[in-house]
Amino acid sequence: MEKQPAGLENGFSLIEILLVISLMVIILSLATPNLFNPLGQEKVNSLASDITINLKDAQIKAMHSETLGQAATSEFGVHFSASSYTIFRGTVFNPADTNNFSVALTNGLSISQNLPCLSSPNDCNNIVFSKLSGEVQNFDQTKNSLCLTDTLNNRILLTTNFLGVINAQTDAC
């Protein structure tokens, strides 16, 4: 058997193998969170779309004199909490009203609101639309937004103007 000259051994050294493995681990650790981020952003986008649709539904009910079996027409609004939102009839949210339509958020999503206080200092969680005109009651340009977030910090800011037009901005809150 012939002896090879020094420095011409076959294969890889332990240091070379460890270096390649450590580089692969670093690259995978940087790429893995970004693989799940589009799913999180899509959940926030879907929530923004659902809230927009339900706000428009409440506005349309107020404008078209929806009575929900009552004798008189009324305003309609949407009440927001951190983990749900509810379409309600009238100017004040009553959680016991059986005509309320509630939507619970999926895990990991939350709503933080910056809305005007309608009837009392502690009731700052509602957007209420006037009957017939559909305008936002007690509109305040500085208090007209909802921030939708998920656990990966994907965010969408929903703002409304006095006519109820909703604008969505990604990563704005």
CB 170 within 8 A of CB 155: yes
Distances (CA, A) of 160 to 28, 55, 71: 41, 10, 30
| C-alpha distance across the termini of the chain, in Å | 73
pLDDT at 78: 93
Least Cα distance to 156 among 38, 40, 42, 45 occurs for 45
**Minimum mean pLDDT range among 68-72, 93-97, 109-113, 132-136:** 68-72
How many folded domains does the chain comprise?
1
Give the tens place of pLDDT for each residue, 10-21: 788 899 999 999
Kindly state whether residue 56 falls inside one of the protein's structural domains. yes
* Residue 15 counted as domain residue: no
Distance set, CA 88 to CA 31, 101, 150, 166 (Å)? 44, 7, 25, 19
Residue 55 inside a domain? The answer is yes
CATH number, domain containing residue 162 = 3.55.40.10
What does the block give as tokens for 129? Answer: 């639309």
Higher per-residue pLDDT: 66 or 88: 88
7: in domain: no
100 found inside a domain: yes
73 lies in some domain? yes
Q: Is residue 8 part of a domain?
A: no
30-41 pLDDT tens trace: 776 666 666 768
Strand-by-strand arrangement of the 101-104 sheet: 101-104, 84-89, 76-80, 126-129
69 lies in some domain: yes
Q: Which residues contact 108 (CB under 8 A, 6 or more apart)?
A: 40, 43, 150, 151
pTM of this structure: 0.72
Q: What's the domain range around 83?
A: 37-170
46-60, 118-132, 149-163, range with the lowest pLDDT: 118-132
